[in-house]
């Protein structure tokens, strides 16, 4: 079943793109509210496990880094 957490993880995977990824996950580290800007702020950690001995650099894209993530999270 695809829920919002799965969508976010898929978007993070697509955004940062490790070709030799074996697993990935994320967790919320902190949440606060910015009174000056009236915005909720959430810090997350994105953890990726990769195969050892291979090129561990992420695949970079010409698209803005928030593009695929923004689309995946905002699409219903």
pTM of the shown model:
0.64
Whether 30 maps to a domain, the answer reads yes
Whether 59 maps to a domain, the answer reads no
Q: How many domains does the chain have?
A: 1
Tell me, what's the pLDDT at 28?
95
- Size of the chain, expressed as the number of residues it contains: 76
Whether 72 maps to a domain, the answer reads no
Tell me, what's the pLDDT at 30?
96
Tell me, what's the pLDDT at 45?
95
pLDDT at 14 over 70: yes
Tell me, what's the pLDDT at 19?
83
Whether 20 maps to a domain, the answer reads yes
Q: Which helix (H) or strand (E) holds 15?
A: helix 4-16
Q: Which of 54, 52, 53, 58 is nearest to 12 (CA)?
A: 58
Whether 37 maps to a domain, the answer reads yes
How far apart are the C-alpha atoms of 60 and 37, rounded to whole Å?
31
How far apart are the C-alpha atoms of 47 and 8, rounded to whole Å?
13
Structural domain of 41: 1-54
18-76 pLDDT, tens digit each: 888 899 999 999 999 999 999 999 999 999 998 887 666 666 555 445 555 555 555 54
């Amino acid at each position: 079943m695809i829920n919002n957490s799965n969508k976010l993880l898929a978007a993070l995977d697509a955004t940062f793109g490790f070709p030799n990824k074996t697993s990935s996950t994320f967790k919320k580290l902190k949440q606060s509210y910015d009174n000056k800007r009236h915005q909720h702020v959430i810090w997350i950690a994105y953890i990726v496990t990769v195969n050892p001995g291979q090129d561990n650099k992420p695949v970079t894209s010409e698209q803005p880094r928030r593009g695929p993530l923004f689309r995946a999270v905002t699409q219903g």
